[in-house]
Amino acid sequence: MKRNPRGENLRRALAQEAARIMAEHGIRDFLVAKRKAAERFGVSDGAALLPKNSEIESALAEYQRLFGGESHLSALHAQRLAALSAMRYLQEFSPRLVGAVLSGTATQHSEVQLHLFAERAESVTLKLLDEGIPHEVTEKRMRFNAEHVRAFPGVRFEIDAQPIEATVFPPDGIRQAPVSPVDGRPMRRASTFEVEALLAQQ
């Protein structure tokens, strides 16, 4: 198959622009960022040139390395500390950290994303109510494969001025992670111990 250097360069430029949009404007949806980048470069939306989500995430990591510097690292450290506080507080629900705060590509606009496991989602909201922690009940759709998408209950609240979005799965959900919107593989999940180790490294 013949390589198309011009096409590859444009694809790379689109990935970099989508990454910049995500970092600077707080857009979390890869598709939205991709479309905005395509619009800016005058590329039609359905074009085969559009970068994959994994390419955009790589470009985002590169963008933060080049332009984020200390401010990105300190924001990420604060997000991971807030994640650890929330995980310790919700330890009875076997919390796992997922998403951009775990991978290190979080922007200052990113929410800390947790997966919790409980027989009843109400157990989580009752714990927050007992402690007087303001929260909002949410629902999140998760994909497990091409055909299987399920909605799960969740809660959104703040710890140390950091927004936390927790999705509640049944107890056996700990054995099968939903697929990542970045690469389509099962989401990486980190336990409290692993988050402590991450913070120690950072």
pLDDT in tens, 89-118: 999 999 999 999 999 988 888 899 999 999
In this prediction, residue 117 carries a pLDDT of 98
Averaged pLDDT, 47-56: 82
Which top CATH class is 71-201? alpha beta
Q: Which has more pLDDT, 103 or 66?
A: 103
Q: Which has more pLDDT, 172 or 41?
A: 172
Bridge partners, residue 150, by sequence: 142
Quick count: other Cβ atoms within 10 Å of Cβ 3?
7
Mean predicted lDDT score pLDDT of the chain: 89
**Selection from 26-35, 57-66, 154-163 with the highest mean pLDDT:** 154-163
Q: Which has more pLDDT, 202 or 183?
A: 183
Averaged pLDDT, 65-80: 86
Query: Residues near 134 by Cβ (< 8 Å), separated by ≥ 6?
Result: 157, 158
Q: Can you give the pTM of this predicted structure?
A: 0.81
In this prediction, residue 25 carries a pLDDT of 85
Burial of residue 103 (number of CB atoms within 10 Å: 0-12, 13-18, 19+): middle
Burial of residue 64 (number of CB atoms within 10 Å: 0-12, 13-18, 19+): buried
Tokens 């990542």 locate to 180
* Separation of alpha carbons 41 and 165, rounded Å: 33
Assess whether pLDDT exceeds 60 at residue 1: no
* Separation of alpha carbons 165 and 55, rounded Å: 25
Q: Which has more pLDDT, 31 or 123?
A: 123
